[in-house]
Structure 1
Amino acid sequence: MMREYLRHPSNIPVDVEVIEEPGVCPAQACDVSVAGLCCQVETPVKPGCDIRFRVPSLSFDYTGLGRVVWCRRRGQQYQLGIEFCSGRDAYRARMVEQVCQIEAYRQQVAENEGRTLTGEEAAAEWIDRFAADFDKRFAMG
């Protein structure tokens, strides 16, 4: 069966907060799609729980709302499938996807070229090289 939405790998820290319970759970985003995101957490979260998520590494305040649709144990941790609650959150996830690509580019440049870029430098280079065909290369629908 073919996936309805293309997922894009990510390795961005995400804070996940179950709305009904106090406290923030640090997480690592695994991938992002137009419908939602998958992230890895240390404690399980029940499917059906409403959550608020935040991407702390962004220079702007990005938060979104979602609902846990599945939770699977992966070794000592758990992967959560989080569905976005609104079109606004899905649209804003597009920005997060772009930031994920820029961060991956920054890490790739450091690894392959030995250059350490700031987030702003990486964004400027990535935009110059890849932004024009971002929709074609990283289409989400």
Structure 2
Amino acid sequence: MIEELRRFIRHPSSVPIQVKLGEQHQQRSLKDVSKGGLCFSSPKPMPSGSLVEVNILACKPGFKAKGIVCWCKTEGNEYLVGISFQNKAITYALRMVEQICYIEDYRKRISAKTGRQLTSDEAALEWIQKYAADFPALNE
């Protein structure tokens, strides 16, 4: 039911990210990403409205942007933190990150299912051929 209330569909991911809030730096894994922002788990809560810097090095070129903590909720022993981005250029760049997440997930699924080890470039080529045409447009 909560999923139905979300404005954008979120896509699972495990891409490593760096998050900076003031002088605090965290190295975390991206939990999911959507057109509207991203989510990650944190050992400490982050106040809603806080300005954070997000750096995703898995992309070439890397993704670095300032975002706003739009929500933070408890999940087990950690906190889920939702970050939103308002700038259209950042939203477009986040779309590229979203595709990278899909490709990384594809690479891991192929490895688990078939044992075939793909490089990131090989996985990207295969994913593009199979799925890029079905990837939703940014304005949807």
* Residue 140 to residue 80, structure 1, CA distance change in 2 (3 Å): farther
Q: Structure 2: which amino acid aligns with 1:134?
A: F
What is the CA-CA distance between 1:59 and the residue it aligns to?
A: 2.8
Separation in structure 1 between the aligned mates of residue 139 and residue 88 of structure 2, nearest angstrom: 13
Percent identity at matched positions? 36
What is the CA-CA distance between 1:140 and the residue it aligns to?
A: 7.5
Separation in structure 2 between the aligned mates of residue 49 and residue 89 of structure 1, nearest angstrom: 18
Separation in structure 1 between the aligned mates of residue 6 and residue 46 of structure 2, nearest angstrom: 24
Q: Structure 1: which amino acid aligns with 2:35?
A: V
Residues 39-94 of structure 1, C-alpha deviations (whole Å, 9 max, x = no match)? 11222211111011011222312112210011112122111011113111111111
> What's 1:61 paired with?
62
> What secondary structure is seen at the aligned counterpart in 2 of 1:4?
coil
Residues 8-54 of structure 1, C-alpha deviations (whole Å, 9 max, x = no match)? 22221111111xx2242112212112111111122221111101101
Q: Which stretches in structure 1 are left out of the alignment for 5+ residues?
A: none
Q: TM-score, normalised by structure 2?
A: 0.88
Separation in structure 1 between the aligned mates of residue 91 and residue 53 of structure 2, nearest angstrom: 14
> What secondary structure is seen at the aligned counterpart in 2 of 1:66?
strand
> What's 2:33 paired with?
32
Q: RMSD across aligned C-alpha pairs, in angstroms? A: 1.8
Aligned residue-pair number: 137
Consecutive aligned runs of 4 or more in structure 1 exceeding 3 Å deviation: none
The correspondence for 1:11, drawn from 14, 31, 37, is 14
Q: Which stretches in structure 2 are left out of the alignment for 5+ residues?
A: none
Q: Structure 2: which amino acid aligns with 1:79?
A: L
For residues 21-100 of structure 1, the aligned pairs below 5 Å read: 21-100=22-101
What is the CA-CA distance between 1:134 and the residue it aligns to?
A: 1.7
Separation in structure 2 between the aligned mates of residue 96 and residue 58 of structure 1, nearest angstrom: 7
> What secondary structure is seen at the aligned counterpart in 1 of 2:135?
helix
